[in-house]
């Protein structure tokens, strides 16, 4: 098949097979337990097989199905270990891999986008993809001036497939809710649908990457490849060598984890101040540690335009929250739109609920860990905990949508890294209003 599976019925059936398959394995597992097989062994077998089916289906469909998997991978550190364990390797694989397109389809897209003489732009083009992700794949090539380049090609039919997947992805909610009652992917899917067009617009993405590349050119900490050419479905950029951040997560030593975590947080916080843009797709597949120790950054399809930097009120309220002034924090959140008119809420309970956002700022150094995040996750998703009701009263203003996504997503990745970083110093340096917020 040359293109993505585009027919809605076909794709819906593939998505539907995920929860159906899980239900079938669960029933089979019950039979095995009755037959005498240990419950722990049965559960592990069910989780392992479900993980493999999730990866295979999402990876083959690419599009929105795989995009959901990538987004979920950011938050796996919040899941209980008995749930996260069998899925960790699977979700990591989703961050930067997918079955490749046939060479004929690749050549057709390049001819349509760059012209029938597209080969003249390169002295060499590797037909085997170097990487593949949710809506496109990357080929390594040599530009006509001798530079190594990355050629990013969007899958034909990605737009229709993406919307079809996201419209049907609610089917996955039952599967993951059954594995972990607090894991609700519906808000995540709604947010993904809201920025579909941005993800598909490679010309807009190329402009964002150009802006970042200029802002961080020759930086001692970061590398953003420059764009050499762009079309609606193809981007050609400088090639960047590097160790994927996912490898640092799985096998990095303590010093590597801390350094990667510091650079990762610094880039996300400093982007609005330096480039007027916030990189809004923080999953590990978009980051590399280059041979000279810098953090390389890829994929600028999702950005928030913040020409004046991060909102100063955000830093100011964070600083006030550190002092314990719950009433002022509640009033500020109401002004910003996080509390709608008429919503009554106990100010101290609200401040307690926001503790995951505040705690790292209290310390000169903060150790992000899976254990810490899992405890926070249990607290706010337990219906018997008062914090659960607080969360239901909060509203997310549109202007903070991507900021919120990046903040939460980055915390998840930092916890996967188990990084110990000078969190407060980075906040003071890059978040307006934080240093003088009190």
DSSP assignment of 55-121, as one string? HHHHHHH-HHHHHHHHHHHTTGGGS-HHHHHHHHHHHHHHTT--PPPPHHHHHHHHHHHH-TTGGGG
d(CA 150, CA 139): 6
* Cα separations in angstroms, 80 against 59, 183, 235: 24, 11, 39
Residue 438 lies in a domain: no
Looking at residue 401, its pLDDT comes to 81
Looking at residue 52, its pLDDT comes to 57
Query: Which residue reads 């594995």 in tokens?
Result: 179
pTM of the model: 0.79
Residue 300 lies in a domain: no
Most distant CA pair in the chain: distance in Å? Answer: 68
Q: What percent of the chain has pLDDT over 90?
A: 49
Considering the domain architecture, whether residues 4 and 143 belong to the same structural domain is answered as yes
Looking at residue 237, its pLDDT comes to 98
Number of domains composing the chain: 2
Residue 270 lies in a domain: no
* Residue from 157, 151, 154 nearest 136 by CA: 154
Within 319-430, strands assigned E span 366-367, 420-421
CB of 64 closer than 8 Å to CB of 192? yes
Residue 275 lies in a domain: no
Greater pLDDT, 22 or 368: 368
Least confident of 12-26, 84-98, 283-297: 12-26
d(CA 247, CA 287): 11
Residue 256 lies in a domain: no
Look up residue 134 and give its DSSP letter: S
Residue 177 lies in a domain: yes
- Model confidence at 99, pLDDT cuts 50, 70, 90, reads low
Considering the domain architecture, whether residues 145 and 9 belong to the same structural domain is answered as yes
Is the confidence at residue 224, as pLDDT, over 70? yes
CA angle 429, 337, 274 (to 5 degrees): 25
Query: Which residue reads 């794709």 in tokens?
Result: 11
d(CA 195, CA 355): 29
Residue 278 lies in a domain: no
**Residue 356 belongs to domain spanning:** 312-430
* Mean per-residue pLDDT, 385-394: 79
* Mean per-residue pLDDT, 327-337: 94
Domain boundary pick from 163, 184, 200:
200
* Mean per-residue pLDDT, 183-191: 62
Domain boundary pick from 177, 200, 223:
200
Considering the domain architecture, whether residues 37 and 170 belong to the same structural domain is answered as yes
Please provide the distance, in angstroms rounded to a whole number, between the alpha carbons at the two ends of the chain. Answer: 60
The tally of CA atoms less than 13 A away on the side-chain side of residue 400 is 15
Considering the domain architecture, whether residues 16 and 145 belong to the same structural domain is answered as yes
Is the confidence at residue 16, as pLDDT, over 90? no
CB of 230 closer than 8 Å to CB of 301? no
Q: What is the mean pLDDT of the chain?
A: 80
Considering the domain architecture, whether residues 154 and 34 belong to the same structural domain is answered as yes
Looking at residue 22, its pLDDT comes to 40
Angle between helices 63-73 and 8-34 (to 10 degrees): 50
**What's the count of helices (H) and strands (E) in the chain, helices before strands?**
20, 14
Domain boundary pick from 147, 165, 200:
200
* Mean per-residue pLDDT, 350-371: 90
Considering the domain architecture, whether residues 19 and 159 belong to the same structural domain is answered as yes
Residue 121 lies in a domain: yes
Distance of CA 117 to the CA centre of its chain: 36
Looking at residue 19, its pLDDT comes to 42
d(CA 299, CA 283): 10
Considering the domain architecture, whether residues 321 and 194 belong to the same structural domain is answered as no
Considering the domain architecture, whether residues 71 and 193 belong to the same structural domain is answered as yes
- Model confidence at 27, pLDDT cuts 50, 70, 90, reads very low
Considering the domain architecture, whether residues 316 and 186 belong to the same structural domain is answered as no
Q: Which residues contact 234 (CB under 8 A, 6 or more apart)?
A: 109, 110, 113, 114, 151, 152, 153, 154, 202
Looking at residue 126, its pLDDT comes to 96
Least confident of 136-140, 168-172, 205-209: 168-172
Look up residue 307 and give its DSSP letter: T
132: β partners:
137
């Amino acid at each position: 098949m040359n293109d993505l599976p585009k027919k809605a019925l076909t794709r819906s059936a593939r998505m539907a097979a995920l929860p159906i398959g899980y239900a079938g394995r669960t029933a089979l597992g019950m039979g095995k337990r009755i037959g005498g097989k240990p419950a722990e062994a049965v559960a592990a077998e069910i989780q392992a097989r479900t993980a493999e089916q999730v990866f295979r289906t999402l990876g083959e469909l690419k599009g929105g199905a795989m995009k959901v998997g990538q987004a979920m991978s950011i938050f796996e550190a919040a899941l209980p270990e008995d749930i996260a364990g069998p899925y960790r390797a699977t979700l990591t694989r989703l961050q930067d891999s997918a079955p490749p397109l046939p060479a004929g389809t690749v050549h057709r897209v390049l001819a349509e986008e760059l012209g029938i003489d597209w080969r003249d732009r390169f002295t060499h083009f590797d037909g085997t993809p170097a990487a593949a992700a949710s809506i496109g794949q990357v080929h390594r090539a040599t530009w006509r001036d001798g530079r190594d380049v990355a050629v990013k090609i969007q899958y034909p039919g990605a737009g229709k497939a993406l919307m079809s997947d996201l419209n049907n992805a609610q089917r996955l909610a039952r599967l993951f809710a059954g594995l972990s009652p607090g894991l609700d992917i519906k808000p995540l899917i709604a947010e993904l649908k809201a920025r579909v067009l941005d993800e598909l617009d490679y010309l807009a993405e190329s402009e964002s990457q150009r802006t970042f590349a200029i802002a961080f050119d020759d930086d001692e900490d970061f590398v953003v490849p420059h764009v050499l050419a762009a079309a609606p479905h193809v981007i050609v950029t400088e090639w960047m060598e590097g160790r994927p951040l996912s490898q640092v997560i799985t096998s990095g030593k303590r010093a590597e984890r801390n350094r990667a975590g510091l650079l990762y947080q610094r880039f996300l916080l400093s982007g609005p101040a330096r480039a007027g843009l916030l990189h809004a797709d923080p999953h590990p597949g978009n980051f590399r540690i280059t041979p000279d120790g810098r953090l390389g950054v890829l994929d600028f399809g999702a950005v928030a335009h913040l020409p004046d930097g991060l909102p100063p009120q955000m830093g100011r309220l964070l600083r006030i929250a550190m002092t314990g002034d719950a009433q002022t924090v509640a009033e500020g959140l109401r002004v910003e739109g996080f509390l709608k008119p008429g919503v009554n809420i106990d100010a101290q309970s609200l401040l307690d609920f926001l503790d995951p956002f505040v705690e790292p700022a209290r310390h000169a150094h903060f150790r992000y860990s899976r254990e810490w995040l899992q405890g926070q996750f249990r607290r706010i998703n337990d219906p018997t905990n008062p914090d659960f009701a607080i969360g239901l009263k909060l509203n997310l203003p549109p202007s903070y949508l991507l900021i919120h996504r990046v903040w939460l997503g980055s915390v998840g990745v930092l916890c996967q890294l188990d990084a110990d970083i000078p969190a407060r110093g980075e906040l003071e340096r890059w978040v307006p209003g934080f240093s003088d917020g009190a």
